[in-house]
Amino acid sequence: DAELAQAKARVKALLERENAVLVAHYYTDPLIQALAEETGGCVSDSLEMARFGAQHSASTLLVAGVKFMGETAKILTPNKRVLMPTLEATCSLDIGCPADEFSAFCDAHPDRTVVVYANTSAAVKARADWVVTSSIALDVVDYLDAQGQKIIWAPDKHLGNYVQKQTGADMLLWDGACIVHEEFKAQGVETLKQTHPDAAVLVHPESPESVVALADVVGSTSQLIKAAQTLPNRVFIVATDQGIFYKMQQLCPDKTFYIAPTAGSGATCRSCANCPWMAMNALDNMAATLESGANEIFVDKALGERAMVPLNRMLNFKN
């Protein structure tokens, strides 16, 4: 409608005025993902968001996602201005892993290599030897395990458990979880599969082990999108944030996607599987932050320099 078109046009004009590029996650509102595509920005998983922002020539990055994504962008490009539509958008994994407690935990196990998920604060990353996202976690842990290294893993226990089972590595797990993925129910997936017996089940590894066990493909957001494109199935049950359906449906217009149930009955709820923090990103607060320069991300210089080391290990990792 006209109001929406106007709001989009306003953000577009401001992006240009501010020499800014929009870097958005697959979980954000489809309007934002479309805008990123139309304006030469990127829509991707957290690993590619970090890569794209670091390589782009714009002087300002507008990061539509959650706080750790903005912080990662700032750590990797300290000379760029990094703005976020809101500073309130956090993540239950980040909240559940306070830097002081985590540091004490690491100090208690000095013989272990510290691997942290990207969904953490700059201070937690600064304490780590490696940062990983879900699309690269298995490869990095495999590599470390092959060298005989024992690992501390934080914060997501479900992803940690999955990586541990797949690699057989010696991993000590922090007790964190994603409030969105943790809600998926294996019984609900089984019930829904009875209605759609030919459906392939795609699961993000932040989901509980019982749901992962039902998956045809387990992977990061970008890996699940790839699976939707390459598997021959016409119907999919997807255990991750519903924001991903924008890209899946765009790339596979003839396929049908159902959200994995958060209830054993197999019922699909409209508001579930929707990260409350990702949902805080909107066209109006994007325009407001570009207009005023508010919500800039700052990371302490010394902390950022320490956090950059394990982040760059991830970006440069090739196995």
Which chain residues interact with ligand 13P by CB under 6 A? 45-47, 119, 133-135, 178, 206, 220-221
135's contact among ligand 13P, ligand SF4, none, with CB below 5 to 8 A by partner kind, is ligand 13P
- Reference 162, options 144, 138, 185, 186; nearest CA is 138
Work out how close the CB of 93 gets to ligand SF4 at its nearest, in angstroms, rounded to a whole number: 5
Q: Among 58, 241, 247, 314, indicate the residue that binds ligand SF4 (CB under 6 A).
A: 241
Q: CB under 6 A: which stretch of 159-167, 271-279, 289-297, 305-313 binds ligand SF4?
A: 271-279
Q: Among 99, 179, 252, 309, indicate the residue that binds ligand SF4 (CB under 6 A).
A: 179
Q: 10 Å Cβ neighbour count for 137?
A: 26
Distance in Å from the first CA to the final CA of the chain: 48
List phi, psi (to 5°) of 287: -65, -45
**CA angle, residues 311, 158, 251, in degrees to nearest 5:** 70
Residue 308 binding ligand SF4, by CB under 6 A: no
List phi, psi (to 5°) of 89: -80, 100
Query: Any known ligand binding at 252?
Result: no
- Reference 181, options 163, 205, 200, 165; nearest CA is 205
Q: CB under 6 A: which stretch of 72-80, 162-170, 259-267, 275-283 binds ligand SF4?
A: 275-283
Q: Among 21, 49, 115, 178, indicate the residue that binds ligand SF4 (CB under 6 A).
A: 178
Report whether 94 contacts 121 (CB < 8 A): yes
- 14-73: contacts with ligand SF4 (CB under 6 A): 27, 66
133's contact among ligand 13P, ligand SF4, none, with CB below 5 to 8 A by partner kind, is ligand 13P
Query: Any known ligand binding at 204?
Result: yes
- Reference 229, options 253, 260, 201, 195; nearest CA is 253
Query: Any known ligand binding at 220?
Result: no
Work out how close the CB of 94 gets to ligand SF4 at its nearest, in angstroms, rounded to a whole number: 7
Amino acid found at 126: A
Q: Which residues of 154-186 are buried (b: 16+ CB within 10 A; e: fewer)?
A: bbbbbbbbbbbeebebebbbbebbbebbbbbbb
Q: Pick the closer one to ligand SF4 by CB: 193 or 222.
A: 222
Contact residues toward ligand SF4 (CB under 6 A) are 27, 66, 91-93, 119, 178-180, 206, 241, 275, 277-278
